[in-house]
Amino acid sequence: MTQPPPAPSHPFAALDPDRVLDALASVGLYGDGRLLALNSYENRVYQVGIEDGKPVVAKFYRPERWSDAAILEEHAFMAELREQEIPVVPAQVLAGRTLHEFAGYRFAVFDRHGGRAPELDRPEVLEWTGRFIGRIHAVGAARPFAHRPALDVDTFGVQSRDYLLAEGFIPPELVEAWRSVADQALDGVRRCYDRAGDVALLRLHGDCHGGNVLWTDAGPHFVDFDDARMGPAVQDLWMMLSGERGDMVRQLSDILAGYEDFMEFDARQLYLVEALRTLRLLHYAAWLARRWDDPAFPAAFPWFNTQRYWQDRILELREQVALMDEPPLWPV
């Protein structure tokens, strides 16, 4: 008998191993008892051994985060990329569908692909990675998303600031300091966007950092398109950069050496690097706050919402205010 969906305050409370296996059985995949929870907090993702078959990865989507249409856009985008022989891992088509429902949970099934972390300190690895990001963006520029939001000042910045203030996460004695520096940071982000001008938006991976790129002897493949959305191309490039300014200049040069084999890069977007970093910092704090009623979050992020945490965020945003007024990584 199908059980009711979990209570809204604990979206994954009822997603136990038996329910995971029953969900897979509902689409004709029968587990052999091997079940490994993978590193995911927004959703729940499991590697599952299959009787008489290869293991699969089952992804259970957080209720109420994305509409069905938005999830299907993610799947369709990945299928487009695979059709162009770009190394991504699309959702399997089972019974004619990629998105399934069981006991109140929506889920999709993917092939399991292993790999190691990319060596992003090697120029040839950065160039190779840039080449594939360029190919992803060439496909992403062909048409817009219809059901997924854009990455912009409002969705990542203003809404994040407003939520944290409205819900009382910031200690009372730090509210004014945090509010002031958040407002300064958002003003700085707007100035960066003004300097960049009217840059094109395209379908992005959205969370393209080293942890979402797996490397094999055949090169990279890209995983976890859950945050795919419309945005400027540089969003999928800047998270590959690290270290001091000179290091980032060299790394970006290597990435673009491969990227521009397939996609022209508008250098005005370099004004957005620190602005996008600032938006990500605000969005990340608000993401943790929005998920704090999920028991997995206090266990995994015990440092969140402490006095020290918000003091560090104030200092971090002050640094970002200064960085956004510096020249871009190279002249535009």
33-68: pLDDT as tens digits: 999 999 899 999 999 999 989 999 999 999 989 999
- CA separation (Å) from 71 to 43, 45, 91, 205, 261? 12, 15, 11, 13, 30
Catalytic: 187? no
Indicate the pairing of strand 31-37 with strand 202-203.
unpaired
DSSP state of 37: E
Catalytic: 312? no
**Six token digits for residue 254:** 């290597």
162-197: pLDDT as tens digits: 999 999 999 999 999 999 999 999 999 999 999 999
Given the residues 187, 207, 217, 325, select the one marked as catalytic.
Answer: 207
| pLDDT value of position 205 | 97
274-320: pLDDT as tens digits: 999 999 999 999 999 999 999 999 999 999 999 999 999 999 999 99
Contact yes or no for 199/268 (Cβ under 8 A): yes
Q: Report the alpha-carbon distance of residue 227 to residue 218 in Å, rounded.
A: 25
Residue 243 CB contacts under 8 Å (≥ 6 apart), including other chains:
251
Mean pLDDT of 71-77: 98
Q: Report the alpha-carbon distance of residue 270 to residue 272 in Å, rounded.
A: 5
Given the residues 16, 22, 111, 224, select the one marked as catalytic.
Answer: 224
What are residue 117's phi and psi, to 5 degrees? -65, 140
Which residues lie across from 45 on neighbouring strands? 59
| Spatial CA neighbour of 163 closest among 172, 151, 154 | 154
- CA separation (Å) from 285 to 12, 33, 60, 307? 21, 37, 23, 14
Contact yes or no for 86/137 (Cβ under 8 A): no
pLDDT of residue 8 exceeding 80, the answer is: no
| Spatial CA neighbour of 272 closest among 226, 311, 328 | 328
User: At 182, is the secondary structure helix, strand, or coil?
Assistant: helix
Place of tokens 């871009």: 328
| pLDDT value of position 3 | 43
